[in-house]
Amino acid sequence: MPSAFSCLGPQRLLASTLADFARSSLLELDAAALSGAACFVARREARLIGLLALARRNDTDADLLWLGVDPTQRRQGVARDLLRVGCAWWARQGGRGMFAPQSCDAALLASLGFAAAQDGCWVRWIG
């Protein structure tokens, strides 16, 4: 399990963190696309090992924009923990629905209470 989770705030910190994560994970990230998103990171010691980005869809629903885990840290529950933290945070914000794209891992989402929606995405109703 990661040693710490945190929510990134200032855009400057987000941009530098994303750049570092992309270099270390060989992932393509678009910091501009994440502008205004709530971003959560998982760290093991001082090393960034995962990132989750959520965007408000409307007053009650949020979209999962991005979920990534360092390839060397996969299959250790990092993505699951990030999704749990993100869903809990959204519930505290008064959110009711969390939507994830169809491309997300079906088994992971189903294990966390997400269900397939008619439009092909995944949805989890909170509270």
Question: Tens of pLDDT along the chain (127 residues)?
Answer: 444 444 444 344 444 555 555 554 444 445 545 556 788 888 888 778 888 888 888 888 888 888 888 888 888 888 899 988 888 888 888 889 988 888 888 888 899 999 988 787 888 888 6
**How is the chain split into domains, by residue range?**
4-96
Predicted confidence at residue 10, as pLDDT, reads 39
From residue 69, give the alpha-carbon distance in Å to each of 62, 85, 95.
20, 15, 25
Q: List 125's β-bridge partners, or say none.
A: 97
Q: Does domain 4-96 have CATH number 3.40.50.1220?
A: no
Own/partner long-range contacts of 17-25 (Cβ < 8 Å, ≥24 apart): 17/41, 17/48, 17/51, 18/51, 20/48, 21/48, 21/51, 21/68, 21/70, 24/48, 24/70, 25/68, 25/69, 25/70, 25/71
pLDDT value of position 74 = 83
pLDDT attached to residue 26: 43
**Residue 104: what pLDDT?**
84
